[in-house]
Structure 1
Amino acid sequence: MSIPTTHPFAFDPTYGTTLEELLAVEPPEEPEGFDAFWEARYRKALAVDPRPEFSRSEFSHPDWHVLDLVYLSTGAFRIGGWLLLPQKGQVRRGLVVGHGYGGRDRPDFDLPVEETALIFPCCRGLSLSADPAISQNPSWHVLHDIDKRDSYIIGGCVEDIWLAVSTLVALYPWLSGHIGYSGISFGGGVGAMAIPYDPRIDRGHLALPSFGHQPLRLKLPSVGSAEGVQEYLAKHEDVLSTLSFYDAATAARRIKVPMLTAVALFDPAVAPPCQFAVANAIPKFNEIFILDAGHFDYPGSAEQEAGLRDKIGQFFRVS
């Protein structure tokens, strides 16, 4: 292991926890009505016709047909992104690929998958789905309507993922039940909330998942979106009444499909105890891949990321 020992942060991004302690972190107490809340949102999302529109992309790749994509999500929100179709072979699987809180400016052409249709959506308010009413700064985006449980923006982002799945199913109806989800950081946390309620998703990969164990997330010093929520908490003590319904670890307890979860021992942006709370909560079929650090460059990171990428390719391989 090569966990960083020098860093510029005023706090310890390992939080003094050992691997044994991290593997023992459990999800927080959950609010009454958690399932009813998300099941109702899924039913609402499933009723939306995504009406996808395509255009030629400025990007090209020898292995992929690349199309710019726009589809409708809940609240008639227009979601931008990309659709990649294989140049060779048939479309036998689907994959929705989430993004971190930095958004996304291009599709990832290096995912080691074949015979797969990939959608790279930009969640509402970010990158190609920018909106003048929503800040793209993670510390502000994460606060958008946080005082309103039913309209908090993170819930809309989960619905954007479900509508990406609906878009794949509209294009290739035989893919329902053969669609994977892969997301990192912000996308990992959103994915943990999306996967358990959508039976069309048959497996998922979450890396450095955010939004896990919200009570810990509100306490452990962090940078980025978590810091923004902590600063908000100082003036609005009732914020947990909303966030308890948007807890990735609580949602992960409901996941019933095979999962590959990558979590870090050192991370200044998503505290490791919060990441492990998500990974530990998944009841079965979960492989945990441990990284020395997340959201931080470190010696050996390229080798670890290459190893993880190989795992991802095997995990989403068409059978």
Structure 2
Amino acid sequence: MPFPSPYDTWFADAEFDASYGHTLATLREIAPIAAPDGFAERWQSWREQATAVDAAPTVLSTETAHGRRVSVVEHAGVDGTRLRAWVVEPLSAPARVGVIHSHGYGGRDAVDLARVPDDAAAIFPVARGLPTLNAGVGAPEPQAEHVLAGIETPDSYVLGLCARDLWLAADALTTLVGPLPLYYVGESFGGGIGALALPWDDRYVGATLIVPSFGQYDERLAVHCVGSGETVRDHVAAHPEAREVLRWFDASTALGFARIPVRVEAALWDPYVPPPGQFGVANAARILELAVLPAGHAEYPGAEQVTAEAIRDSRAHLARALNAAS
């Protein structure tokens, strides 16, 4: 099938059509996966268990950079595993909002303040097992091993642990800087993990999810990709019982339980996170601001301008969400 214009020019050497034959109209029709019985109760139980864990953050180092105070901290995950993160604070005045800023499946090697307002404190958690701060800690580092770690049961599956760790990362931030309304930013892996965690934490006023992963597993398992989804797809083909575990970790299912305004930046072409999964997440949001990206996980003409506009609009979304909650 020929790629839709202009993708035949932009991605002429691509292995396959990463629009998967969809248009914006067909993507907007993709329904989120309905929750299995007990979905909310299970996540609420995990949230309650997490409140009994002391994040116990400790500051390992501090410097002044980018006009902010930047610290490397260590805090507990949901099972007590000690995880490292960066915490950023304004220098001149107390913060008005706290930003929990997650990352893609490659991990993180530095803070990225593009979507963090000057008057915000932020924590940049690094998921268990992932580089640089937590490589091999609490989960295997290689992506193909990481995405399958603990998939035998819902309680042990790594994606659930990573989502639940976000509650402890937020605890760590508020312990260090004081109680603040929270806003979430997550891209790809971080977008999907955030969608799983957000509905069960009432401290959040809003979120931006950028090309979110782990959404709409019926669509995700049906198509080839070059990201972590392909590893999961191969595993489920060999172990069909794993599909039942994945039902508890569908970002499209979880986001339907969130009552905060959510901005989703979803791509029409993406070989790593298939667009049907991304739009399954977007279509689940009760209060949605949708930004349609030409492509995700790819370079293309005009990408810098698209990214700059997305960052601007995401900051505006945060400001509106914060004002509405005040």
TM-score, L = length of structure 2: 0.92
Q: Distance between the aligned counterparts of 1:54 and 1:166, measured in 2?
A: 14
Structure 2: runs of 5+ lacking an equivalent: none
Cα deviation for residue 312 of structure 1 reads: 1.6
| Partner-residue secondary structure (3-state), 1:79 | strand
The question of 1:64 aligning with 2:38 is answered: no
- Please name the residue that 2:28 is paired with: 23
Matched letter for residue 187 of structure 1: G
Partners in 1 of 2:126 and 2:203 — Cα distance?
20
Equivalent AA in structure 2 for residue 202 of structure 1 = V
SS at match of 1:151: coil
Q: Which residue of 2 aligns with 1:273?
A: 276
The match for 2:186 among 183, 186, 202 is 183
CA distance in 2, matches of 1:72, 1:78: 5
CA distance in 1 between counterparts of 2:122 and 2:33 reads 34
1:103: Cα distance to partner? 0.3
How many pairs were matched up?
315
Deviations 1:111-145 (A, max 9, x none): 35021110000011112122267322222210001
Q: 225, 245, 249: which one pairs with 2:248?
A: 245
2:99 matched to which residue of 1? 95
Q: Which residue pairs with 1:224 in the alignment?
A: 227
Aligned pair partner of 1:150 in 134, 147, 155 = 155
CA distance in 1, matches of 2:6, 2:149: 34
Counterpart Cα distance in 1 of 2:47 and 2:161: 11
Distance 1:204 1:132, change over 3 A: closer
Residues 234, 8 of structure 1: CA spacing in aligned structure 2 closer, same or farther, 3 A cutoff?
Answer: farther
Q: Which has the higher contact order (CA 8 A, sep 6+)?
A: 1
Match of 1:51 in 2: 56
CA offsets, 1:2-45, max 9 Å, x none?
75322444321000001100011111232111111100111111
Give 1:109's aligned amino acid: L
Q: Does 1:120 align with 2:108?
A: no
CA distance in 2 between partners of 1:309 and 1:76 (Å): 34
For the residues of structure 2 that align with 1:126 and 1:60, how far apart are their CA atoms? 25
Return the offset for 1:314.
1.4
**TM superposition shift of 1:275:** 0.2
Residue in 2 that maps onto 1:210: 213
Distance 1:141 1:105 in 2: 18
My pick for the range that moved more, 63-72 or 6-15, is 6-15
- Return the alpha-carbon distance in structure 1 between the equivalents of residues 50 and 5 of structure 2: 43
Structure 1: distance between partners of 2:66 and 2:247: 45
- Measured on the aligned residues, the alpha-carbon RMSD in Å equals 1.7
SS state at 1:309 partner: helix
In the alignment, what sits opposite 2:141? 136
> Equivalents in 1 of 2:115, 2:137: separation in Å?
32
Give the whole-Å Cα distance in 2 for the aligned partners of 1:8 and 1:147.
38
| CA–CA separation in structure 2 for the residues paired with 1:302 and 1:94 | 27
2:117 matched to 1:107? no
Contact persistence 2:99–2:116 (CA under 8 A): no
Other-structure match for 1:169: 174
Q: Percent identity?
A: 36
Gaps of at least 5 residues in structure 1 are: none
How far apart, CA to CA, are the structure 2 residues paired with 1:81 and 1:189?
A: 19
* Distance in 2 between residues matched to 1:90 and 1:274, nearest whole Å: 39
State the distance in 2 between where 1:60 and 1:268 align.
38
Extract structure 1 runs of 4+ deviating beyond 6 A.
none
Letter in 1 for 2:90: P
What SS is found at the alignment partner of 1:28? Answer: coil
Q: 1:152 to 1:112 in 2, by over 3 A?
A: closer
Against the structure 1 CA distance between its residues 171 and 188, is the aligned structure 2 distance closer, same or farther, given a 3 Å change threshold?
same
Aligned AA (2:278): Q
Q: In structure 2, do the counterparts of structure 1 residues 123 and 112 end up closer, same or farther at CA, with 3 Å as the change threshold?
A: closer
**1:296 pairs with 291, 295, 298, which one?**
298
Cα deviation, residue 110, structure 1 = 2.8
Name the counterpart of 1:282.
285
